[in-house]
Structure 1
Amino acid sequence: MLDLRRLQILREFAEHGTIAATAQALDYTASAVSQQLSTLEREVGASLLDRTARSAELTDTGRLLAEQAEQILAMVEAAEAALAAQTDTPRGRVTVTAFPTAAVAFAPRLAQSLRRHERMQLVLRQAMEGSGAHKVSTGEIDIAVVDDWSGLRPDDRAGKLRHTPLLRDPMVLALPQDHPLADPARPVELRALRDEAWIAAPHGEPSRQGTDRLLAEIGGAPSAAWEFEGLGTILSLVSRGIGIAAVPALALASGSRGLAYRRFPEDAPSRDVYAVTRASSALRPAIDVTLRALLTAAREVSEALADTLEREGAGGALPRAGTEPPGGGAHPSA
């Protein structure tokens, strides 16, 4: 009988490629991973890894078993979800990761919505940009709140993942409260802001894509633009009068003081925000109720941000939660 935990370790090795990376992903020691894989080799009666003094790679048998392990583990999870659905009672631990601005915005609403389900436990963590969908795919977490600036259809990895659209998050202008353009009666003209002191995320950070697209029509960001990592740091500098910044509207949820926000008059770049889950866990009541809570939180956050910008800036409203991002996406079961 093959041990499911060892199959999961093999699958992780196939994903990460090294013993060290597999150990880090699973929060194991490298020696523990190596021992478990050696035990699995004895169970199947074949070599799964070609080992050298400095590296290891899958044999043909190892690759075959890793592919089968992917299917076996998905089927086991689907069976467990189907059995859990028979009780119709959300229970167990649900681990959610979110990028920082979404974690700050959604956490209070998620806690309020899910606290009545006494048999389930919510664990919400902040995650590095771009890692959420991968961690859902490997089973490390249950749900990831991710952002995407491409406007393309999300990669569901051959039906393994489901992307539930939460909201569309446009760029807005962040200003010190005493900046002349903090007055909502004054129009925001992007070209007139070309010579302002801009603060932007470094190249390679997702939000920098939005800033670069926004400023492309006026020649791009000034060469002297300040670059700082993290929206929290950027907003702190703006509040101190160091400069101005284009940030996703979700940043308003941080409640940072000393700031004013204005809409851009043109169609500003935006990111699509999704909740990513495994298709095999869809029937699990705790997953379903958490997805519903995320959708409710996204709608409430979207409405709150729109109201804030309605007071501080002129013209139009933010896209409301439930606006379908390009490429569509899956929704939780009815």
Structure 2
Amino acid sequence: MLELRRLRLLAEFARRGSIAATASALGYTPSAVSQQLAALEREARVALLDRTARSAELTDAGRRLAERAEEILTLVEAAEAELSANADAPMGRVVVTAFPSAAVAFAPALAGSLSDHPELTFVLRQTRPGDGIRQVQSGEVDIALVDDWSGKLSAHAPAALKFFHLRRDPLVLAVPPGHPMADPAKPVDLQELREEPWMAAPAGEPSRQAVDRLLDTVGGRRPVPWEFEGLHTILSLVARGIGIAAIPALALAAGEQRVAVRRIPDCDLAREVYAVTRAASVRRPSVAVTLRAIYEAAQNVPEVLPESDDELGPASPPDEPPPRADR
């Protein structure tokens, strides 16, 4: 009989590619992971890992079993969801991970709406770009809030995952309040800003790639931004008059009032914001009510552009609203 916990370890090893990474993701020691995988090999009566002194990789049998393990774990979760769907109220622990600006923007509304469910324990964590989907796949978290600047993320998602589109988050211009471009009546001209000190996230960050695409359109000598970790750090520097920045509008939802925000003309650079969960989890009342709360929080984030400059229109609605807990 193959032990379910060990199958989960094997599936995680297939995703991570090393015993050390698997141990780190699941909170075990590398020695414990190695011992459990060895025990699984004895249960399966076949070599699942090809080990060397410094590494390990799956054998052909190991890859086949890892694929089956994913299917088995999905079926088990679906069975658990069907059982919990009969519960009278959402209960238990729901773990959500989010990119920083979404975590800050949505947290107040989530805390308010989910407080109506006393049997529910809600955990919100921040994560680095790219980690959220992996954490949902591995079962570390129930829901991930992720952003996508490419417009292709959901189209290439694994079938076991469900994407809920929350909103479109455009790139906007942030300048100090005393800056000439702070006046909503003055048209924004990026060429006039070419010699300004621009600030942006480090190279390789998704928002930085969008900023680089924007600066490519300025003309003349391309501005080279100063690099700072964290959009909120960048905003605080703009507020102090140190420079200007193009940032996703959602980053302003934390309430930074000391900057002026302008729409960038003829700019369609934006990220799509999604809630991602395992398809088998959607029927769990605790996950369903949390998804609905996230959706409502995303729709109710205050607009940051002044009325005379707000030509973006309302946030686009989700492709498919999350289910209600009573469905």
Q: What TM-score do the two structures reach when normalised by structure 2?
A: 0.94
Task: After TM superposition, give the deviation of residue 292 of structure 1 in Å.
Answer: 0.5
Is the 8 Å Cα contact of residues 48 and 62 (structure 1) preserved in structure 2? yes
Alpha carbons 1:198, 1:221 under 8 Å: kept: no
What is the CA-CA distance between 1:222 and the residue it aligns to? 3.3
Take 1:107 and 1:285, find their aligned partners in 2: how far apart are those partners? Answer: 20
Aligned residue for 1:283, secondary structure, equals coil
- The corresponding residue for 1:138 is 138
Which residue matches 1:54?
Answer: 54
Q: Does 1:177 align with 2:167?
A: no
- Per-residue CA shift, 1:54-109, capped at 9, x if unaligned? 11111222112111110000000000001111225211111100100000000110
Instruction: Give yes or no for contact 1:198–1:222 (8 Å, CA) kept in 2.
Output: no
Contact 1:214–1:268 (8 Å) recurs in 2: no
Distance 2:292 2:65 in 1: 36
Instruction: State the Cα RMSD in Å.
Output: 1.8
Tell me if structure 1 keeps the 8 A contact 2:195–2:223: no
Per the alignment, in what secondary structure is the counterpart of residue 41 of structure 1? Answer: helix
Cα distance, 1:268–1:152 mapped onto 2, change above 3 Å: same
User: 1:161-214 CA deviation, whole Å, 9 max, x = no partner?
Assistant: 111010000011111111122122222122222222111222210101221222
Q: Which residue of 2 aligns with 1:309?
A: 305
Tell me the equivalent position of 2:3: 3
How far 1:333 sits from its partner (Å)? 2.7
CA contact (8 A) 2:163 2:275 kept: yes
* Aligned pairs (5 A) from 1:118-267: 118-152=118-152, 154-155=154-155, 157-219=157-219, 222-267=222-267
**Kindly, what percent of the aligned residue pairs are identical?**
59
Q: Which amino acid aligns with 2:225?
A: A
**Residue deviations 1:284-323, cap 9 Å, x none?**
111111111011001110xx12xx3134x5242443251x
Tell me the alpha carbon deviations over residues 195-253 of structure 1, each in whole angstroms, 9 at most, x when there is no partner: 22111222210101221222222238834431222212211211111110000001111
Name the CA distance, whole Å, in 1 between partners of 2:16 and 2:227.
32
Distance 2:316 2:142 in 1: 22
Matched letter for residue 314 of structure 2: P
Distance in 1 (alpha carbons) for counterparts of 2:67 and 2:202: 38
Q: 1:101-120, aligned counterparts within 5 Å?
A: 101-120=101-120
Could you list the structure 1 runs, at least 4 aligned residues long, displaced by more than 3 angstroms after superposition.
Answer: 155-158, 219-224
3-state SS of 2:306 partner: helix
Gaps in structure 1 of 5+ consecutive residues = none
How much has 1:268 moved relative to structure 2? Answer: 3.6
- SS of the residue aligned with 1:118? coil
Partner of 1:319: 314
Residue 157 of structure 1: CA displacement?
3.6
Q: Does structure 1 conserve the Cα–Cα contact (< 8 Å) formed by 2:176 and 2:241?
A: yes
Q: Comparing 28-37 with 313-322, which one deviates more in the overlay?
A: 313-322
Does the 8 Å contact 2:49/2:58 carry over to 1?
yes
Query: Which residue does the alignment assign to 1:333?
Result: 323
Secondary structure (helix, strand or coil) at the match of 1:71 reads: helix
Q: Which amino acid in 2 is paired with 1:333?
A: P
CA distance in 2, matches of 1:293, 1:86: 20
- Conservation of the 8 A alpha-carbon contact between 2:145 and 2:275: yes
Q: How far apart are the structure 1 equivalents of 2:132 and 2:313?
A: 26
1:47 Cα deviation from its structure 2 partner: 1.9
More displaced stretch, 9-18 vs 51-60: 51-60
CA distance in 2, matches of 1:7, 1:262: 52
TM-score, normalization by structure 1? 0.92
Counting matched residue pairs gives 324
- Contact 1:99–1:146 (CA under 8 A) maintained in structure 2: yes
Output the CA distance in 2 between the equivalents of 1:212 and 1:223. Answer: 9
- The aligned amino acid for 1:253 is A
The residue correspondences of 1:80-95 to structure 2 (distance < 5 A) are: 80-95=80-95
Q: Cα distance, 1:141 vs. partner?
A: 0.8
Distance in 2, matches of 1:279 and 1:330, equals: 13
Q: Please, which runs of 5 or more residues in structure 2 have no aligned partner?
A: none
- The one-letter code matched in structure 1 to 2:296 is T
Does structure 1 conserve the Cα–Cα contact (< 8 Å) formed by 2:184 and 2:306?
A: no
